[in-house]
Amino acid sequence: MRVYLDNAATTPIDKEVIKVMVDVMENKYGNPSSIHAQGREVRSVVEVSRKTIAKLLNTSPSEIFFTSGGTEADNTAIRCGIIDNGITHAITSKIEHHAVLHTLKEMEKKGAIKLSFVELDEKGNVNYESLEELLKNNERSFVSLMHANNEIGNLLDVERVGNLCEQYNALFHCDTVQTMGHYVHDLDKLKVHFVACAAHKLHGPKGVGFLYVNHKVKIKPLIYGGSQERNMRGGTENVYGIVGMAKALEIAYNEMEQHQTYVQGLKTYMKEQLIANFPDVSFNGETEPERSLYTVLNVSFPESDMGDMMLFNLDINGISASGGSACSSGSNVGSHVLTGIGADSNRPAIRFSFCKYNTKEEIDFVIEKLKQIIPVEA
């Protein structure tokens, strides 16, 4: 038996998504920038996908720009949002994804911005009073805070942050890579200027995503070349990926309520089983449903000689999980998120992340294997 509990890193692609992608691969091969019949046919496919995504998010198709994924979307929003709007102060947190942190730190290093970090509590929640102080005491700011943390699952009050940014005339970029397709995003109501998405986090294909840019904000391209994406992103569109992403998001919205209930049930069950079988276990970040992403459970186990080998032992026992962000795999540097919230570095931490394809039987299998791997005192 092989159990995949690393869905925050990437999700299995939905068979319905594969079906629509294969149809385009086999039958619609023109370049969407070409003016002949085959080109126009593919251009139509791309624009129908854009309209599908925009309708689901309650926004205009003109505000959706296709990218190679979440990292490009984040980089475009941050670099272009800051530079093209003459902003010299940015606010973020120390537990953002590296696509955000590394980009902002590089801009700070080059002297383009002054970078401030909002305070966090011991569970990794944003201190909104600290955010307001930073907004109040600095010139116009660019705020970049993620909707849900990819390692510990904490949820941001996007509406509250949006209201604060509006009050202080700040631009607000929200990385929604972990939550797109898992929660409703009404972009007409949210006071957010940039939103990033990666299709492979919601049972879509890898290598494609989108950036929402509010029509009130003007930016120049990050990638220059042709006139694709209304002159906003040079390069021939990833047509198959775009079609797959639109289908994946459509499925996610149609099945959202039942998936939330089902997957939250798996997370709650695993938490209960861990507590019952490992008395000294603890959880990183928020775990209450209303404050935590229902797909992520970050667990710290008691310190032991097996700590450094836990992921390896899980793997050879048929369990795929993560010790943190997948983007840091192979690195000997500990999780910057767990360090940022002051987690005990001596306790091995594992991120289990769930999806609609997981089962209660798989959770039972994982618990039994953990009991074999981790010594539990009687």
Contact call for residues 153 and 325 (beta carbons, < 8 A): no
327 is catalytic: yes
Query: Token pair of 267, please?
Result: 């997370």
pLDDT at 183 over 80: yes
Residue range 272-292: average pLDDT? 94
- Report DSSP letters for 267-307, one per residue: HHHHHHHHHHH-TT-EE-S--SGGGB-TTEEEEEPPP-TTG
pLDDT at 363 over 50: yes
- Smallest CA-to-CA distance from 330 within 322, 341, 338 is with 322
pLDDT at 329 over 90: no
pLDDT at 265 over 60: yes
Query: Could you give the CA distance from residue 151 to residue 93 in angstroms, rounded to a whole number?
Result: 14
pLDDT at res. 332: 52
Query: Token pair of 344, please?
Result: 């005990």
Cα angle for residues 274, 369, 337 (degrees, 5° grid): 55
Contact call for residues 192 and 63 (beta carbons, < 8 A): no
Query: Could you give the CA distance from residue 89 to residue 338 in angstroms, rounded to a whole number?
Result: 26
Residue whose tokens read 């309520």? 257
Query: Could you give the CA distance from residue 121 to residue 185 in angstroms, rounded to a whole number?
Result: 26
Q: Residues 165, 174, 197, 327: which is the catalytic one?
A: 327
Contact call for residues 193 and 337 (beta carbons, < 8 A): no
Residue whose tokens read 């039958």? 27
Query: Could you give the CA distance from residue 359 to residue 364 in angstroms, rounded to a whole number?
Result: 9
The DSSP bridge pattern shows strands 89-92 and 114-117 to be parallel
pLDDT at res. 334: 80
Q: What is the mean pLDDT of the chain?
A: 94
pLDDT, tens digit (0-9, with 9 covering 90-100), for 116-164: 999 999 999 999 999 999 999 999 999 999 999 999 999 999 999 999 9
pLDDT at 51 over 90: yes
pLDDT at res. 84: 98
pLDDT at res. 330: 47
pLDDT, tens digit (0-9, with 9 covering 90-100), for 73-82: 999 999 999 9
Contact call for residues 274 and 367 (beta carbons, < 8 A): yes
Contact call for residues 299 and 285 (beta carbons, < 8 A): no
pLDDT at 307 over 80: no
pLDDT at 90 over 80: yes
Query: Could you give the CA distance from residue 51 to residue 45 in angstroms, rounded to a whole number?
Result: 10
pLDDT tier, 303 (very low <50, low <70, confident <90, very high otherwise): confident
pLDDT tier, 299 (very low <50, low <70, confident <90, very high otherwise): very high
**Is 15-254 in CATH node 3.40.50.920?**
no
Kindly report the length of the chain: 378
Q: Where are the domains of the chain?
A: 3-11+255-373, 15-254
Query: Token pair of 16, please?
Result: 């319905």
pLDDT at 326 over 70: no
pLDDT tier, 192 (very low <50, low <70, confident <90, very high otherwise): very high
Q: Which of 168-182, 235-249, 325-339 has the lowest mean pLDDT?
A: 325-339
Residue range 316-331: average pLDDT? 70
Q: Do the two domains 3-11+255-373 and 15-254 of this chain adopt the same fold?
A: no
Which tops the pLDDT comparison, 304 or 354? 354
Longest dimension (CA), the chain: 74
Residues contacting residue 106 through CB under 8 Å, at least 6 positions apart = none
The DSSP bridge pattern shows strands 209-213 and 64-67 to be antiparallel
- Torsion angle of C-alpha atoms 311, 300, 328, 259, degrees rounded to 10: 90
What are the backbone dihedrals phi and psi of residue 175, each rounded to the nearest 5 degrees, phi first?
-75, 110
- Torsion angle of C-alpha atoms 112, 86, 215, 135, degrees rounded to 10: 80
Neighbouring CB atoms inside 10 A of 258's CB total 10
Contact call for residues 160 and 192 (beta carbons, < 8 A): no
pLDDT at res. 305: 61
Residue range 98-113: average pLDDT? 98
pTM of the model: 0.95
Query: Token pair of 83, please?
Result: 């530079």
pLDDT at res. 119: 98
pLDDT at res. 325: 44
Query: Could you give the CA distance from residue 311 to residue 205 in angstroms, rounded to a whole number?
Result: 26
Number of Cα atoms under 13 Å in the Cβ half of residue 350: 26
pLDDT at res. 344: 85
Neighbouring CB atoms inside 10 A of 99's CB total 24
**Is 3-11+255-373 in CATH node 3.90.1150.10?**
yes
What are the backbone dihedrals phi and psi of residue 305, each rounded to the nearest 5 degrees, phi first?
-70, -20
What percent of the chain is modeled with pLDDT above 70?
Answer: 95
